[in-house]
A and B are shown apart, each in its own frame.
Chain A
Amino acid sequence: GESVGLHLPTLSVQEGDNSIINCAYSNSASDYFIWYKQESGKGPQFIIDIRSNMDKRQGQRVTVLLNKTVKHLSLQIAATQPGDSAVYFCAENSGNTPLVFGKGTRLSVIA
């Protein structure tokens, strides 16, 4: 079946460096994508979203890039901080279907 997946299960970065977390999706009908951050013992926390009519969207220190040609989504975190350490999930849906989550990437920030 169609699914959302991740290239890298773990990522370690030095504090202050930029982080890039990648996600591949297979449902070409997906038109809405979200990145969530999950800290230990907590629920997924919305970070940023993007619709399929865009290829880039920026927030505070975060940027999401969408490449529909290769069905690839990435999350860039600028000047990574220790508080960014968490598991990051991409999720997608199309129309009114429920969100489908990827497996997650653990980001570890080294001070």
Chain B
Amino acid sequence: EPEVTQTPSHQVTQMGQEVILRCVPISNHLYFYWYRQILGQKVEFLVSFYNNEISEKSEIFDDQFSVERPDGSNFTLKIRSTKLEDSAMYFCASIGTWGLYGYTFGSGTRLTVV
């Protein structure tokens, strides 16, 4: 069964450092998402990406965040200057067609900012 792959599974970084979280969506999917989940809380939408541009973003997705699809297969989330409150699980998801099926999520990257 096709999977969404995320790397690394766990990232520890110093406050103020830049991090890049990587995702390989399902190959024939067209819509890509980043969500985050602070420990014990609900999954929150960050950003959606389609046709090589951001289609929607939440209030959480401020100027410190950016997304990129550098090579047609990878989909990255960059946090320029991490804060303690950025510590969370970050999930990548993809979907082939709007509303046909639920999003397929990756296993996530646990980001710990110290």
Contacts and interface: CB of A to CB of B under 8 A. Distances in A.
Interface residues of A, number: 22
Contacts of B104: 46
Interface string B38-60: 00011111001000000010100
A6 B108 CA distance: 23
Interface stretch (A11-19, A53-61, A71-79, A98-106): A98-106
Contacts of B70: none
A3 B104 CA distance: 22
Contact of B107 (A43, A97, A102): A43
Size category of the binding interface on chain B = 20 to 34
Name which of A32, A91, A99 has the most chain B CB atoms within 10 A of its CB.
A99
Contacts of B75: none
B33 A45 contact: no
12 contacts: A43-B91, A43-B93, A43-B106, A44-B43, A91-B102, A96-B98, A97-B56, A98-B45, A99-B45, A100-B45, A103-B42, A104-B42
Interface of B: 4, 6, 33, 35, 41-45, 48, 56, 58, 91, 93, 98-99, 101-108
